[in-house]
């Protein structure tokens, strides 16, 4: 069987896909993440595409079907932001 030729990961034709945790307000999450995307692209030279799945099962399915190269499962620990000296949870 002949395998289709796939563009290298991280270029315009095949960007690295990052999926954030599900959100009822996906456009707001995507808009807030634009600075992150620009920083990642600037530092790595790769191209990224941000995704916000509609549910956790959709995020898991995306990982299983290689729609997402990485998944951010939820919001950052708010307690950590409130008290930066607090050690991270284990």
What integer pLDDT is reported at residue 66 of this predicted model? 60
Which pair of tokens denotes residue 17? 């896909």
Q: Give per-residue pLDDT as tens, 29-47.
A: 888 888 989 999 999 999 9
Q: Give the pLDDT band (50/70/90) at residue 72.
A: low
What is the sign, positive or negative, of the torsion defined by CA atoms of 53, 56, 57, 62?
Answer: positive
Element housing 51 (H / E): strand 48-51
Q: 3 by DSSP, 3-state: which?
A: coil
pLDDT over 70 at 76, yes or no: no
Cα–Cα distances (Å) from 32 to 20, 27, 28, 80, in that order, read: 11, 9, 6, 20
Q: Give the domain ranges of the chain.
A: 16-73
DSSP string covering 14-30: BPEEEEPPP-TTHHHHH
């Amino acid at each position: 069987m002949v395998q289709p030729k796939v563009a290298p990961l991280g270029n315009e034709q095949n960007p690295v896909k990052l999926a954030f945790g599900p959100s009822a307000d996906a456009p707001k999450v995507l808009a807030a993440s634009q600075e992150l995307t620009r920083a990642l692209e600037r530092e790595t030279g790769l191209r990224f595409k941000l995704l916000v799945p509609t549910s956790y099962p959709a995020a898991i399915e995306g990982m299983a079907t290689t729609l997402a190269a990485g998944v951010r499962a939820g919001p950052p620990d708010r307690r950590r932001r409130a008290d930066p000296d607090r050690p991270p949870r284990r």
